[in-house]
Structure formats: C-alpha cells, structure tokens
Amino acid sequence: MPSVIALVDSILVSISSFHNVLYDVRRMKRTAILDEQSAMESVSLQPEKKRRKVQPSLSINLEYVNRIIGWLGNNEISTIGIHGMGGIGKTTLAIELYTRLSNHDIPSSDDNYASAWVSVGIDFTVFQLQQKIASAFGIDFQDDKDVIRRASILNAFLSGLGKYILFLDDLWGDFRPEDVGIPRQCKLILISRLLDVFRILRCQKILKIETRSEEETWQVFQHCIGHGVSNLKEVPSCKKLVYHKCAGLPLAIITLANNMRGVVDASRWREFLEIMDPIQNIDVFSRLKLSYERLNNIKLQRCFLYSALYLKDKSLVSREELIRLWIGKRLINDVPSLQAQFDMGHSILNKLLNSCLLETCQDNKNIKMHDLVRRLAISILRDSNMVKTCIPSKWEL
C-alpha cells in the first residue's frame, strides 16, 4: 500500500510540474504578443551601441523585396538566405522587408505573418542564440542554463504562434535549428556574407545582392547628399567619377556622399571627388576587412592578397590560371603531388568565393574581384609585414 501511495504522489507531482511549465509558456506567449504591437519592436530591443548602421532605402530594393515576398507565399520554402559582400545593403533590404511584414503592407497577399528580428553576430553559441531569440519575444528563462530545456521552451512557444518569420541578421556561423528550439514551421530569413552558412542550413532560396549600376549609384548618392547635385554643370563626369570611386557599393556611396556634404562650392566637387577614397574611411575599411580576418588562415589570406595583385591590371582571370599562380608562387606547397595542389587550390578558391572576397562571372569559369576589395587588399599589404614576404619585386603597389 505505501508503494501505491508513493506512486500516486509521484504522478501528482509530475502533473503539477507539467502545469507549471505550461502556465509559464502561456504567460510568456501573452507577454510577447503584447510586445509585438509596436513596429520594429525587436530591432528596438537591441542595445543602442550594438545596432548596425542602416543605409538609406530607395525603390532600388523593391524588386528584391517582392521576390522574397513571393517565396514566403510558397509553403515549400521555409528558409531563405540574403547573401552579399560587406556593405552591399543586406541588412537594409531585410529591414525594409521586416517593416512591410510588421505593417502588413504586402499587396495581393492573404497571409499575415508575425515577425521578429535578431542580430546574431560573430562566434555565437547555441546558448547565446537562444537568449537573443528569447529577448526578442519577451521570454524569461528564469536563469535556466540547460540548453535542452531552453530549446523545449522556445519550441513550445514558437509552435503556438502560427505563421511566423524569424530574421537572423549578421550570421557568421551555422547551427541546428532543433538544438536552438526553432520549430520546422517557423520560416527563417538569414542574412550573411558567407555562402556556406546557407548551404549548411539548407536554404531553399538564396538571394544574392549585387552592386549598384552607375545610374543606381548616382540615385543613392543624390538621395544621401540631399542638395544641388542635379544642378551641377559637370554632372555626367561627376556621375562616372562617383561610380568609379565606389564601384557600386552602397556603404561606400553613402560614405562618400556624407563627406561631400560640406563642399558647397560646385566648382570644387570634381577636385574633392578626385582625391577622396571611400576605402580610407574606417567604417568601409573595417566592414570589408572583416571578411578577410574571418578567413582565420594565413594560406587563404596570402592567396587572396596575391589574387588582388595579379588582378590589378586584369578585369578577370580563369580559375585554372589563378590556381597555377598560387602554385607557382609556392603558396600551395605542403601537399605531395601536383594534382593534390590543384585540388587544394580549388578548395581555397571556393572559400574565397564563399566569403565574397572573390566573385565568379556568369560563365562560372572566370574569376574577378570587386574594385574596393582589391583596394582593401593593397591597403593591407602596405600596412602589414606581408609586404616583404608576399610581393614580388616586379609588382608595385
């Protein structure tokens, strides 16, 4: 008899514990729904110092936004990646999409998606990602440090929200959604400059953000500077010069425009444009350099720097030619056979492509480098000890 009583007590305790957990999840859900009512709520939750600078938005993004909205309407698509080099405008585009979703400003769509924004960052852990997602939803883990229990709480909460989209910005690594507590029915929009992240997370659609054309560059420049540009007598030449200086990179365009605001004398515009270089701006330089630093491998970094030098007077080069250059300069010399060296060369090249430090042409046979990335590499070589060990004497910086 005592054993039966003990068993009943144990069952009652388990039921009580289950109801407590269920109550906590319901309470957290109510709190999150109240918090959801303010636009851009989850972005506002980020500490002021950690918010990323957002580039001014123009109608140029409209085609990209509409393409993603079309994908979201497909029940077979649950994970979408927004890809591109640093400063290309990935976050700006994603925030524009997030705002439209939050305001239910989606023409010809019957679906009303709730959404949340999380800025992930470098070297994150599952525990940290859980905490950031919980903060976006107003969930309190009550100091629970167990990632499995935390995943269970997140999964139960998110599963009850219906149609939901989770934006994960500034993503520098992969993770398993089930380890974090993200249910399968939750749609993910991932923002990263690392193509491998999207492949590992099995994105069904990947949107690559391209650099701006000359006309689009001029539109962004005019939008940012905000005065008197269209009245300049030398607009055609200034337009080409702005495009040459910025190579269609929105961050560089905005930086150049901000620096030009103090130049009120129209006759001095061309003079200032000639001497200014966006890559010298600390924000542009550090944003682009981050991709180089995150290679975390001296062999990859040296191959990248050599590529910049070799492409100085060339618009593009074939994969085979570039790999032969690395082998010829003994950058790939720690494997026994020539075939193994070529195999390693292709692996290195793919990693540089995946990091947006090199680009492939439409034929997938030729390689090119964005002009600002090449200028970044030259700047790194000038300022580092690699100058003595990396640069052949016949190449001048």
Instruction: Give every CB contact of residue 169 below 8 A, 6+ residues apart in sequence.
Output: 52, 90, 91, 94, 117, 118, 119, 120, 191
Taking the model in full, what pTM does it have?
Answer: 0.81
Q: What is the pLDDT of residue 390?
A: 53
The total number of residues written for the chain in this structure: 397
d(CA 391, CA 397): 9
**Of residues 83, 96, 53, 82, the one with CA closest to residue 224:** 53
By three-state DSSP, how is residue 73 classified?
coil
Q: What is the pLDDT of residue 307?
A: 93
Quote the DSSP letter at residue 26.
H
- For the segment(s) 12-208, the CATH number from 3.40.50.300, 3.40.50.10860, 1.20.950.20, 3.40.50.800 is 3.40.50.300
Please answer whether residues 290 and 86 qualify as being in contact, where contact means their C-beta atoms are separated by less than 8 angstroms.
yes
Q: What is the pLDDT of residues 214-267, one digit of tens each?
A: 999 998 988 888 755 555 555 667 888 999 999 999 999 999 998 887 776 766
Q: What is the pLDDT of residue 11?
A: 36
Beta bridge partner(s), residue 188: 79, 166
pLDDT means per 10 residues, the chain with 397 residues, are: 43 39 41 35 37 54 90 93 96 93 67 85 95 93 94 93 92 95 94 96 95 92 72 67 93 91 73 86 94 94 93 82 93 88 95 95 85 94 66 48
Half-sphere exposure of 372 (CA within 13 A, CB side): 30
**Amino acid identity, position 180:** V
**Amino acid identity, position 329:** K
Beta strands in 113-196 (DSSP E): 114-121, 164-171, 187-192
Please answer whether residues 50 and 175 qualify as being in contact, where contact means their C-beta atoms are separated by less than 8 angstroms.
no
- Six-digit token string for 349: 């090249």
Give CATH for domain 286-390: 1.10.10.10
- What Å distances lie between residue 395 and 80, 88, 318, CA to CA? 42, 30, 20
Half-sphere exposure of 46 (CA within 13 A, CB side): 18
Beta bridge partner(s), residue 83: 192, 208
d(CA 216, CA 356): 21
Beta strands in the chain (DSSP E): 79-83, 114-121, 164-171, 187-192, 205-208, 317-318, 359-360, 366-368
Q: What is the pLDDT of residue 2?
A: 45
- Six-digit token string for 184: 């399968």
Instruction: Give every CB contact of residue 15 below 8 A, 6+ residues apart in sequence.
Output: none
d(CA 276, CA 268): 12
- Six-digit token string for 46: 């980020």
By three-state DSSP, how is residue 207 classified?
strand
Residue carrying the six token digits 């700047």: 379
286-390 and 12-208 share a CATH fold: no
Q: What is the pLDDT of residue 51?
A: 44
The residue extents of the domains of the chain are: 12-208, 214-276, 286-390
- Six-digit token string for 215: 């006309």
